[in-house]
Chain A
Amino acid sequence: DAGVTQSPTHLIKTRGQHVTLRCSPISGHKSVSWYQQVLGQGPQFIFQYYEKEERGRGNFPDRFSARQFPNYSSELNVNALLLGDSALYLCASNPQGTTSTDTQYFGPGTRLTVL
C-alpha cells in the first residue's frame, strides 16, 4: 500500500507570493494533519482535518489555511510568504482522528524555500 504522499517535493518562492502544498493520505485514512519543521527543530502542529472539518489549529497566523476534500486529500495554503516560512512541511494521516489510540503516519514532506 502507498504511504502518505506529498507534492511537490521542493518549492522555491519569493517573499509575498502564495503557495499551495498537497497531501494524499494513506488509503482508508480520514484524518490529515499538517506540521512545519524548521531546520534544527521538531515539527510544529499547524492544522488537523477530519471528514473535511477543521479539528485543531496550532499557533500560526491567518496567512496559513488548509482544507480537506471529499477523497480525504488535503491542501495547505500559505499567503504573503515570509523568509521565516522556509521549512519542511509535513503531512500526516491517521485512520479516524476520533480516537485517542490513533497513530499518525508521516509523508516525506515538501521543502519550501522563500527567497
Chain B
Amino acid sequence: AQSVSQHNHHVILSEAASLELGCNYSYGGTVNLFWYVQYPGQHLQLLLKYFSGDPLVKGIKGFEAEFIKSKFSFNLRKPSVQWSDTAEYFCVARGNQAGTALIFGKGTTLSVSS
C-alpha cells in the first residue's frame, strides 16, 4: 500500500538550531515528492518539490530536502530555524502518472522558541 511516514509528531527547537524532519515513503513505481507547510491560521503552501534530477532540492525560506532512493527517504532540512518557522509540516508523495492523488504523511508540528 502507498504510504508516507513522518518520524516525529512534534519537534521543539530554539531559534538558530538546525532542523531535520524525517520522511519515508512506500510507493510502487516512480514517485514525486513534496513538502507542504501550514503556518498557524493559513492554508497549505508548497515548500519544495522533487520530480527528477538533482536529489538535493531547495525550496522557499531556506529549506532543502534530499531524496535518497535507496532509503525511500525525503528528509527536510534547514540550517538555522526562526520563530516564524513555527508551523505544521507535511511530507507528501504522488505517483508520476497524471491524475494521481497526493498521499500525505500525518504531519510534524514544529515549535520554535525565541
Contact = CB atoms under 8 A, between A and B. Distances in A.
Chains A and B bind each other: yes
11 contacts: A3-B43, A41-B107, A42-B105, A43-B44, A55-B99, A100-B51, A106-B36, A106-B45, A107-B43, A108-B43, A109-B43
B100 A56 contact: yes
Interface of A: 3-4, 33, 35, 40-45, 48, 50, 55-56, 58, 90, 92, 97-109
B103 A45 contact: yes
Contacts, number: 64
Interface stretch (B12-20, B64-72, B73-81, B90-98): B90-98
Interface of B: 4, 32, 34, 36, 42-46, 49, 51, 90, 92, 95-107
A74 B18 CA distance: 42
Contact of A44 (B43, B44, B98, B104): B104
A109 B43 CA distance: 7
B101 A45 contact: yes
A48 B104 contact: no
A98 B98 contact: yes
Nearest to B38: A106
Nearest to A99: B98
- Among B4, B34, B107, max chain A CB count under 10 A is at B107
Given A101-B51, A106-B44, A41 B106 contact: yes
Contacts of B103: 45
A106 B101 contact: no
A55 B100 CA distance: 8
Given A40-B106, A103-B49, A97 B43 contact: no
B106 A48 contact: no
Nearest to A43: B104
Contacts of A99: 98
Given A100-B32, A100-B51, A108-B43, A43 B102 contact: yes
Contacts of A58: 101
Contacts of B92: 42
Contact of A50 (B44, B51, B96, B99): B99
